[in-house]
């Protein structure tokens, strides 16, 4: 036991308080309440640490079930001392850490019963959060902050503060305690993170009242602290840290906050803080940037990229690239620019990206841009954007395609696409006659491919594409093939060759992949990587786009 928790400390009290302390130790309700009041007076000259043995004594574990009942003296005393105000400046933090297991046990028994003189239901929660605030710098606090169920209660108070007391300056220390918990409850070094983090997210959701309620709380928090003031850095940065830590990917919570406009809110919040020079801004801003990068990767990608660009994401990204590498490191900037480049396969994104990029023309022509550490990536992104925007404009202005080639590679017949019939099973392969379909089923190994194609065709969720999107991807593939046609045909092996188009970043790749019969192709990450079957005959191209969602077997 820590020395500050032993009964001997009571002897150090002044004579006038020693009698009160002894009465409190013996369970006097009036004496206990008076000691709690004394603990809340910051201007007192009394050593509050000398009262810790009383708190420790009355929070000892119950030995009989009836001691937990509301009217039992043990329970009454415990509920009173839960409100004893601890201050790390006056008390040894090690003693508070040792006191925690007893405190937490009785808190769960008493909550939400309120016995102090205010009668406000949130004061149990306030006492809990203030206790945590006084120990968060101690090395043992991380284990305490990971206590199962703790986030539920903190979230209840967090929600209540934003709803009822956000403009009350007397609650400032409570806000600081909540922000500290949000930040320091994230064990960023935890290795077995996926399951545990989802459980911790669920605690916050339960504390708020459900997924929609927690999403509303997050949105309200960002909106309240996005004015760009120095005092808003801590609450906003703490939230960004938490959201990055409990990131649920494409789960229900992520979908809920995105549907409520979180992308635009985060971009505008970061833009509001970008010119602050305080050193305390660096970590919160980085957390926010990592979070927006994660949001922009949420399926189906293009709506969120459009929202971010509309909110001013490209000027923000350019500002960080040129002037604020202290806020966002070049490696992270490159990742975000790569992601924006990969989103250029979606036709609805291109016009807005093009307009925003045009607005940066003067900046990119200036001398400061030439010293930008990610200048090369910006120039590649610009080239890809306007090249694919040009392809989109040509596609929209062109007449619809009316011809296609037979998918029997030994045939190669080209005619009006309405004259072909489609395999009813995979709905991907088209043939000019029953003879060609039977030939491809037997000799062309369509029998082996049919099931795979049925699983990975672009109509299937979660990678479903609209007709316009598919037509644009086909246009990109066709254009890419024509640019590399001679080299690719010279390298192909009849019956064993695929042309791979990789539009997943700044460097467009078009490669010939040799796949012996029965070989496993590695799983390809995302819609941006596409396969186009190459013909064995006369250099014809079969315009079939396939997305490798799973490990696939092909001829």
Q: Which residues contact 198 (CB under 8 A, 6 or more apart)?
A: 246, 248, 251
Structure tokens at 291: 């979070």
Q: Which long-range contacts (CB under 8 A, 24 or more apart) does 475-480 make?
A: 475/391, 475/392, 475/394, 475/395, 476/345, 476/388, 476/391, 476/501, 476/503, 477/501, 477/530, 477/532, 477/543, 477/545, 478/541, 478/543, 479/391, 480/508, 480/510
Q: DSSP for 164-200?
A: HSTT-GGGHHHHHHHHHHHHHT--TT-SSHHHHHHHH
Q: What is the C-alpha separation between 197 and 202, in angstroms, rounded?
A: 9
Give the pLDDT score at 403. 80
Structure confidence by residue, pLDDT tens digits, 121-176: 578 889 999 999 988 888 888 888 888 999 999 999 999 999 887 777 778 889 99
pTM above 0.85, yes or no: no
Element (H, E) at 545: strand 541-546
| Cis peptide bond upstream of 462, omega within 30 | yes
Q: What is the C-alpha separation between 409 and 542, in angstroms, rounded?
A: 8
Q: DSSP for 196-260?
A: HHHHHHHHHHHHHTSHHHHHHHHHHHHHHT-S--GGGHHHHHHHHHHHHHT--TTSHHHHHHHHT
Q: Which residues contact 336 (CB under 8 A, 6 or more apart)?
A: 289, 293, 296, 317
Q: What is the C-alpha separation between 455 and 472, in angstroms, rounded?
A: 22
DSSP strand pairing (520-521 vs 529-534): unpaired
pLDDT at 533 over 50: no
Tokens 């945590």, residue? 132
Element (H, E) at 80: helix 73-81
Structure confidence by residue, pLDDT tens digits, 364-419: 998 889 889 999 999 999 999 999 999 999 888 876 767 888 888 888 788 888 88
Give the pLDDT score at 109. 86
Mean pLDDT of 270-277: 86
CB neighbours (10 Å) of residue 304? 21
Structure confidence by residue, pLDDT tens digits, 342-357: 899 889 999 999 999 9
Phi, psi dihedral angles at 509 (to 5 degrees): -115, 135
Q: What is the C-alpha separation between 155 and 162, in angstroms, rounded?
A: 11
Closest to 266 (Cα-Cα) out of 203, 312, 301, 303? 312
Q: What sign does the dihedral 494-496-502-507 (CA atoms) show?
A: negative
Lowest mean pLDDT, pick from 187-201, 255-269, 327-341: 187-201
CB neighbours (10 Å) of residue 515? 18
Name the band, by pLDDT with cuts 50, 70 and 90, for residue 536. Answer: very low
Closest to 245 (Cα-Cα) out of 323, 305, 188, 168? 188
Q: Across the chain, what does the average pLDDT equal?
A: 81
Give the pLDDT score at 534. 41
Give the pLDDT score at 87. 80
Give the pLDDT score at 360. 94
Name the band, by pLDDT with cuts 50, 70 and 90, for residue 498. Answer: low
Give the pLDDT score at 31. 94
Torsion of CA 172, 174, 179, 184, to 10 degrees: 140
The residue with greater pLDDT, 235 or 119, is 235
Tell me whether residue 257 is exposed, middle or buried, using C-beta atoms within 10 angstroms of its C-beta: 0 to 12, 13 to 18, 19 or more.
Answer: buried
Element (H, E) at 271: helix 262-273
Element (H, E) at 322: helix 313-322
Give the pLDDT score at 526. 40
Give the pLDDT score at 218. 96
Q: DSSP for 441-463?
A: HHTS-HHHHHHHHHHHSTTSTTS
Tell me whether residue 525 is exposed, middle or buried, using C-beta atoms within 10 angstroms of its C-beta: 0 to 12, 13 to 18, 19 or more.
Answer: exposed
């Amino acid at each position: 036991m820590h020395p500050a928790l032993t009964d001997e400390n009571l002897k150090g009290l002044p004579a006038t308080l020693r009698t009160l302390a002894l009465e409190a130790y013996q369970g006097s309700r009036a004496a206990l309440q008076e000691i709690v009041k004394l603990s809340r007076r910051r201007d007192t000259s009394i050593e509050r640490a000398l009262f810790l043995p009383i708190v420790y004594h009355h929070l000892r574990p119950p030995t009989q079930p009836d001691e937990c009942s509301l009217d039992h003296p043990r329970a009454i005393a415990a509920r009173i001392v839960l409100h004893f105000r601890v201050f790390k400046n006056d008390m040894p933090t090690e003693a508070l850490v040792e006191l925690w297991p007893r405190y937490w046990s009785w808190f769960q028994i008493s909550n939400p019963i309120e016995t102090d003189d205010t009668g406000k239901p949130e004061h149990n929660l306030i006492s809990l959060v203030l206790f945590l605030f006084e120990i968060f710098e101690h090395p043992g606090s991380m284990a305490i902050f990971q206590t199962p169920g703790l986030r539920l209660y903190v979230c209840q108070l967090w929600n209540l503060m934003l709803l009822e007391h956000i403009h009350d300056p007397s609650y400032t220390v409570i806000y600081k305690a909540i922000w500290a918990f949000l930040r320091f409850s994230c064990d960023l070094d935890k290795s077995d993170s996926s399951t545990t983090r989802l459980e911790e997210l669920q605690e916050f959701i339960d504390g708020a009242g459900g997924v929609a309620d927690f999403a509303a709380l997050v949105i309200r928090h960002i909106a309240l602290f996005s004015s760009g003031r120095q005092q808003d850095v801590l609450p906003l940065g703490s939230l960004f840290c938490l959201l990055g830590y409990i990131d649920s990917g494409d789960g229900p919570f992520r979908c809920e906050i995105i549907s409520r406009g979180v992308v635009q809110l985060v971009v505008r919040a970061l833009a509001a803080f970008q010119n602050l020079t305080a050193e305390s801004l660096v970590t919160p801003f980085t957390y926010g940037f990592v979070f927006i990068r994660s949001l922009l990767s949420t399926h189906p990608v293009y709506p969120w990229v459009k929202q971010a660009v509309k909110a001013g994401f490209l000027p923000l990204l350019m500002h960080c690239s040129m002037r604020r590498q202290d806020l966002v490191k070049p490696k992270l900037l490159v990742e975000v620019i790569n992601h924006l480049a990969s989103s250029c396969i979606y036709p609805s994104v291109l016009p807005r990206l093009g307009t925003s990029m045009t607005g940066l023309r003067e900046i990119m022509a200036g001398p400061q841009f030439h010293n930008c550490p990610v200048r090369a990536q910006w120039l590649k992104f610009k080239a890809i954007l306007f090249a694919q925007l040009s392809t989109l404009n040509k596609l929209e202005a062109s007449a619809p395609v009316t011809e296609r080639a037979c998918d029997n590679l030994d045939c190669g017949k080209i005619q009006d696409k309405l004259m072909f019939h489609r395999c009813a099973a995979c709905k991907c392969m088209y043939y000019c006659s029953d003879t060609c379909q039977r030939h491809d089923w037997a000799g062309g190994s369509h029998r082996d491919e049919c099931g795979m194609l049925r699983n990975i065709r672009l109509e299937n969720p979660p990678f479903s594409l609209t007709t316009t999107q598919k037509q644009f991807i086909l246009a990109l593939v066709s254009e890419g093939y024509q640019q590399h046609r001679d080299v690719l045909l010279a390298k192909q092996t009849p019956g064993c060759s695929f042309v791979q188009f990789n539009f997943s970043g700044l460097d467009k790749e078009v490669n010939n992949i040799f796949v012996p019969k029965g070989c496993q192709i590695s799983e390809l990450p995302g819609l941006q990587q596409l396969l186009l079957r190459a013909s064995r005959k006369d250099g014809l191209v079969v315009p079939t786009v396939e997305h490798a969602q799973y490990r696939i077997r092909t001829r």
